[in-house]
């Protein structure tokens, strides 16, 4: 195991539902990330948090709302999703390479497989 | 921004043979190049990384080479085993000044028994 856990592992939701994805890291890292992984496409970075502050938002639609209450937990709140949002959502953590000046090796969780009907 | 291209998209080898996956990057400032392995139903797992101050790094059956002049790096797996079957991703970043890893599109490696 990498020290990054995600729940739930699978989620099926309708377009009008509201749900949340949870990520927890046990590595003592200060940066956390949300990625979207769709078939046949590279991993897409969605959000980056450093010291609980959002530092990057890669043009993600507002129907995705992240939350980082502390350095160990990261949430992704979902509402009014579209079928094309169906994908594997991955959480990762690292030491912030900008703050620490290091390599920022990222460690990933197992992902949440999301299906939007 | 950085762009990483990865080839091939699929690769089948006989057990015991070697496998090579190649990536090219566009930003000459990139200096950190990790490789991840993703098995079915799991998240990507770091298997090896290389930093721009070295040209080659080995870890048992896995090696990575880096050519900064040509802006490409490669993953070499020797004596392949069925458990090496997975999707492999390369990535590039500018350590110390950027948080974003730019990933390649992945290579599905199948090791045939």
User: Sign of torsion, CA A60 A56 A72 B96?
Assistant: positive
Contact call for B89 and A43, based on CB within 8 A: yes
Residue of B45, B101, B108 for testing the chain A interface, max A β-carbons within 10 Å: B101
- pLDDT averaged over every residue in chain B: 94
Average pLDDT over residues B56-85: 96
pLDDT class of A99 with cuts at 50, 70, 90: confident
pLDDT of residue B90: 97
**Is residue A75 within 8 Å of A22, Cβ to Cβ?**
yes
pLDDT class of A1 with cuts at 50, 70, 90: low
The strand pairing partners of A76, in sequence order, are: A21, A66
Range with the poorest average pLDDT among A73-82, A99-108, B51-60, B82-91: A99-108
pLDDT of residue A105: 87
B-chain residue closest to A45, CA distance: B100
CB atoms within 10 A of CB B61: 13
For chain A, the C-alpha Rg in angstroms (whole number) is 14
Contact call for B4 and A31, based on CB within 8 A: no
Which of A42, A56, A104 minimises the CB distance to B93?
Answer: A104
Average pLDDT over residues B5-9: 96
Average pLDDT over residues B76-91: 97
Average pLDDT over residues A19-42: 93
A-chain residue closest to B97, CA distance: A98
Cα distances from A51 to residues A82, A93, B2, B11, in angstroms, run 31, 11, 25, 40
pLDDT class of B91 with cuts at 50, 70, 90: very high
For the stretch A44-86, pLDDT in tens is 999 999 888 888 877 899 999 999 999 999 999 999 999 999 9
Which of B44, B97, B98 minimises the CB distance to A108?
Answer: B44
Contact call for A96 and B99, based on CB within 8 A: yes
In the predicted structure, residue B37 carries a pLDDT above the cut 70: yes
> What 3-state DSSP class applies to A84?
helix
**Selection from A14-23, A95-104, B9-18, B45-54 with the highest mean pLDDT:** B9-18
B-chain residue closest to A93, CA distance: B99
């Amino acid at each position: 195991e990498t020290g990054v856990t995600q729940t739930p592992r699978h989620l099926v939701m309708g377009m009008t539902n509201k749900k949340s994805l949870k990520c927890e890291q046990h590595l003592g890292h200060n940066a956390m990330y949300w990625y979207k992984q769709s078939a046949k496409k590279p991993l897409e970075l969605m959000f980056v948090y450093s010291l609980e502050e959002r530092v990057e938002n890669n043009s993600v639609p507002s129907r995705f709302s992240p939350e980082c209450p502390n350095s160990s937990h990261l949430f992704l709140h979902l509402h009014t999703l579209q079928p094309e949002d169906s994908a594997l959502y991955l959480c990762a953590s690292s030491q912030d390479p900008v703050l620490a000046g290091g390599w920022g090796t990222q460690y990933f969780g197992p992902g949440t497989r999301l299906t939007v009907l | 921004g950085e762009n990483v291209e990865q080839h091939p998209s699929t690769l089948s080898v006989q057990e015991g043979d070697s496998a090579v996956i190649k990536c090219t990057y566009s930003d000459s400032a990139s200096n950190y190049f990790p490789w991840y392995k993703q098995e079915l139903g799991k998240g990507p797992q770091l298997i090896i990384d290389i930093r721009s101050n070295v040209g080659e790094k080995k870890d048992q059956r896995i090696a990575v080479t880096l050519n900064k002049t040509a802006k490409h790096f490669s993953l070499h797996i020797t004596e392949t085993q069925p458990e090496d079957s997975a999707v492999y991703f390369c990535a590039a970043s500018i350590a110390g000044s950027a948080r974003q890893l730019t990933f390649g599109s992945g290579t599905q490696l199948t090791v045939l028994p």
